[in-house]
Chains A and B, each alone.
Chain A
């Protein structure tokens, strides 16, 4: 069975993506879009550019069987330079959306169906982060025994979290994903 692609929607998503691409040197021929549209899946937009690969890590996309496109250093009016991650054939759970907030508090998650944005979800930093982040304290019990880590969010912007076990606080820069 062949699926009829709704042209309008496809165009809409492409346009959105094009707007996001900086096409760094302006002169010369028209630039082609370097991150393609997806028909079904999830687009995570407005990621701080240095956190795009962390999002890939958090969602374990290295092991994802569908298409994954990653773009960084795109221009964004709201956050300066941004990253985008497009994941074909995957819908995110609320838990996964919350995890993204740890590294990308301003990200938006767009659910794509038939090349159309069906839903836009603004990520929300969770109050508790279970088993996502590694404690930066080498003498924390979680780094020495098989224990799932747990952090409380003390401050959302800039992100500050506190280890449930050793009680050390960590800033955004110390955060390492498990």
Chain B
């Protein structure tokens, strides 16, 4: 399987076999780090909107493999301010680098960037559309903590309507014969279009607004933040904030091996007391961002097959 020059734009572009191959490379790189793998390679990190974790982990991944990073973390300091189009910015950046990672507030921007560039482009988040490297690190975390991906009972709780991490992960996990539990108030439930897709793929799922209802069934619980910025009306946000709380009381009724994940940052949806339990997988999940991004960079730059 050759990923050289491949763009990483949407989780929908990857087959089950390709996802498993990527996860295999991540594991190999974790076991046998190759610190000079990307020596002489330059990554252009074009961050048109703020990001902490994604930008830092791409930078760290590149530098751990002896590559270099150029770019910007604020579009206000660039020619965009002078009215330069995204297309032209990408055409310029590809002259200076071997690969591009882009984060942009407009949906579809990463796909357009990939069409403009002849070098590989990695989507670091395009609005509320896709964030495929997050999905891959989520998959890797599940595989690593549960020892498998197949046949798991996976719950999603919180804002399932707007949360892109949930949408992409649901599509990726659908390859692995899961049973899903969507836990959210009606107004924040997963969109029907995803349920249609699951129905077509014969994936079993349950919908509920009660966090406790299926707690004994779960192998993994993926918790998301209720995103304040998504609510046009602050009163609406007040209605939903703090509605779900994963705490010690909740943990009384779960499987011993349940793993709790969260894309972070969290507000109050996971109590700090959970951090020290064997259920907490969210900090390890954040740490997995580095090996996953290292593997992806090495794959698209043709240094690993």
Rank and list the top 3 A-B pairs by shortest CB-CB distance, nearest first.
A165-B108, A166-B107, A166-B108
Residues of B within 8 A of A (CB): 10, 12, 85-87, 104-109, 111-112, 126-127, 129-130, 193
What chain A residues lie within 8 Å of B112 (beta carbons)?
141, 145, 147, 165
What chain A residues lie within 8 Å of B129 (beta carbons)?
166-168
- Which of A140, A145, A169 contacts B86 (CB under 8 A)? A145
Shortest CB-to-CB span from A16 to chain B, Å, is 41
Q: Is residue A24 contacting chain B, with contact meaning CB distance below 8 A?
A: no
- Which of A141, A163, A164, A167 contacts B106 (CB under 8 A)? A141
Cα distance A137–B108 in the bound complex, in angstroms? 10
What chain B residues lie within 8 Å of A146 (beta carbons)?
85
Do A140 and B106 touch across chains, with their CB atoms under 8 A apart? yes
What chain B residues lie within 8 Å of A163 (beta carbons)?
108
Given that A167-B12, A169-B193 are contacting pairs, would A141 and B85 also be in contact in the complex, using a CB cutoff of 8 Å? no
Do B85 and A145 touch across chains, with their CB atoms under 8 A apart? yes
Cα distance A178–B104 in the bound complex, in angstroms? 25
- Which of B12, B87, B126, B130 contacts A145 (CB under 8 A)? B87
What chain B residues lie within 8 Å of A1 (beta carbons)?
none
What chain A residues lie within 8 Å of B106 (beta carbons)?
139-141, 144-145
Cα distance A163–B107 in the bound complex, in angstroms? 10
Shortest CB-to-CB span from B13 to chain A, Å, is 10
Cα distance A71–B85 in the bound complex, in angstroms? 44
Which of the listed residues A137, A141, A165, A169 has the most CB atoms from chain B within 10 Å of its own CB?
Answer: A141
What chain A residues lie within 8 Å of B86 (beta carbons)?
141, 145
Q: List 30 A-B contacts (CB under 8 A).
A: A137-B107, A139-B106, A139-B107, A140-B107, A140-B108, A141-B108, A141-B109, A141-B111, A141-B126, A145-B86, A145-B87, A145-B112, A146-B85, A147-B112, A163-B108, A165-B108, A165-B109, A165-B111, A166-B107, A166-B108, A166-B126, A166-B129, A167-B10, A167-B12, A167-B107, A167-B129, A167-B130, A168-B107, A168-B129, A169-B193
Cα distance A164–B109 in the bound complex, in angstroms? 11
Shortest CB-to-CB span from B110 to chain A, Å, is 9
- How many chain A residues touch B (CB < 8 A): the figure is 16
Residues of A within 8 A of B (CB): 137, 139-142, 144-147, 163-169
With both beta carbons as reference points, the residue of chain B lying nearest to A137 in the complex is identified as B107
Shortest CB-to-CB span from B252 to chain A, Å, is 40
Shortest CB-to-CB span from A142 to chain B, Å, is 7
Cα distance A167–B111 in the bound complex, in angstroms? 10
Do A139 and B85 touch across chains, with their CB atoms under 8 A apart? no
Do B108 and A167 touch across chains, with their CB atoms under 8 A apart? yes
Which of the listed residues A137, A145, A167 has the most CB atoms from chain B within 10 Å of its own CB?
Answer: A167
With both beta carbons as reference points, the residue of chain A lying nearest to B130 in the complex is identified as A167
Which of the listed residues B105, B108, B109, B111 has the most CB atoms from chain A within 10 Å of its own CB?
Answer: B108
Shortest CB-to-CB span from B141 to chain A, Å, is 24
What chain B residues lie within 8 Å of A147 (beta carbons)?
87, 112
With both beta carbons as reference points, the residue of chain B lying nearest to A143 in the complex is identified as B106
Cα distance A167–B86 in the bound complex, in angstroms? 19
What chain A residues lie within 8 Å of B104 (beta carbons)?
141
Cα distance A92–B237 in the bound complex, in angstroms? 53
Cα distance A139–B129 in the bound complex, in angstroms? 10
With both beta carbons as reference points, the residue of chain A lying nearest to B167 in the complex is identified as A167
Shortest CB-to-CB span from A105 to chain B, Å, is 20
What chain A residues lie within 8 Å of B109 (beta carbons)?
141, 165
Shortest CB-to-CB span from A163 to chain B, Å, is 7
Cα distance A132–B279 in the bound complex, in angstroms? 51
With both beta carbons as reference points, the residue of chain A lying nearest to B87 in the complex is identified as A145
With both beta carbons as reference points, the residue of chain B lying nearest to A142 in the complex is identified as B108
What chain B residues lie within 8 Å of A137 (beta carbons)?
107
What chain B residues lie within 8 Å of A140 (beta carbons)?
106-108
Do A139 and B105 touch across chains, with their CB atoms under 8 A apart? yes
Cα distance A35–B283 in the bound complex, in angstroms? 71
With both beta carbons as reference points, the residue of chain A lying nearest to B106 in the complex is identified as A141
